[in-house]
Amino acid sequence: MTYIVEPIAFVTAIRKTPEDDNWGGETAEITLTDAMDASALAGVQDFSHVEVLFVFNQVPEDKIVTGARHPRNNPAWPKVGIFAQRAKNRPNRIGSTICKVLGVEGRTLTVCELDAIDGTPVLDIKPVLREFLPREASTQPAWATELMAGYWSVR
């Protein structure tokens, strides 16, 4: 089965190329396409955060991983499946990030700490509701904590 998904918006950001770390404090604008009515953003500013689903559109087909690998190709970390990591070269190239809402003006949503580069196609924007967050403490392996140590640092 195949699904055709069209972008609903595109990202405008300072970063032009993918980077692994230092996304803290970065701001970005998400501007709706002409196919979307500006009223689709009505009420979004009443939420503190949104989840943005986007496409890693600069990942070439031959770089897609469908099995296991060392995260960031670091042999010090265990070889784990692509679904046990948040790497950009995943089978459907879909990224997801929870971002702080800074404001809405017309067709543009401004957010903080969206780890997507300039020109990234956006598939969906969802408000973050507490009821959809984990209802118990989350856990993760030590390598993941080590990998993420500088991810949200400010450059």
In contact, 139 and 39? CB cutoff 8 Å: no
Q: Is the residue at 1 inside a domain? A: no
Could you read off the pLDDT of 90-143 as tens digits, one per residue? 999 999 999 999 999 999 999 999 999 999 999 999 999 999 999 999 999 999
> Nearest to residue 52, comparing CAs of 11, 5, 16?
11
Q: Is the residue at 155 inside a domain? A: no
Q: Is the residue at 113 inside a domain? A: yes
Please give the pLDDT value at position 155.
Answer: 81
Q: Is the residue at 2 inside a domain? A: no
Could you read off the pLDDT of 27-37 as tens digits, one per residue? 999 999 999 99
Average pLDDT, the chain: 96
The structural domain count of the chain equals: 1
CATH code (residue 99): 2.40.30.70
> At residue 151, what is the residue type?
Y
Structural domain for 58, as ranges: 9-129+139-150
Q: Is the residue at 96 inside a domain? A: yes
Q: Is residue 19 over pLDDT 90? A: no
Q: Is the residue at 18 inside a domain? A: yes
The partner residues of 99 in beta bridges, in order of sequence, read 50
In contact, 38 and 107? CB cutoff 8 Å: yes
In contact, 147 and 71? CB cutoff 8 Å: yes
Please give the pLDDT value at position 118.
Answer: 98
CA 54 – CA 9 distance, rounded (Å): 9
Could you read off the pLDDT of 52-69 as tens digits, one per residue? 999 999 999 999 999 999
In contact, 80 and 74? CB cutoff 8 Å: no
In contact, 148 and 74? CB cutoff 8 Å: no
In contact, 57 and 121? CB cutoff 8 Å: yes
Q: Is the residue at 107 inside a domain? A: yes
Ramachandran bin of 107, using left for φ above 0, alpha for ψ from -120 to 50, beta for the remaining angles: alpha
* Tokens linked to 102: 């800074």
* Phi, psi angles (nearest 5°) of residue 38: -55, -30
Task: Give the pTM.
Answer: 0.95
How far from the centroid of its chain's Cα atoms is residue 2's Cα? 23
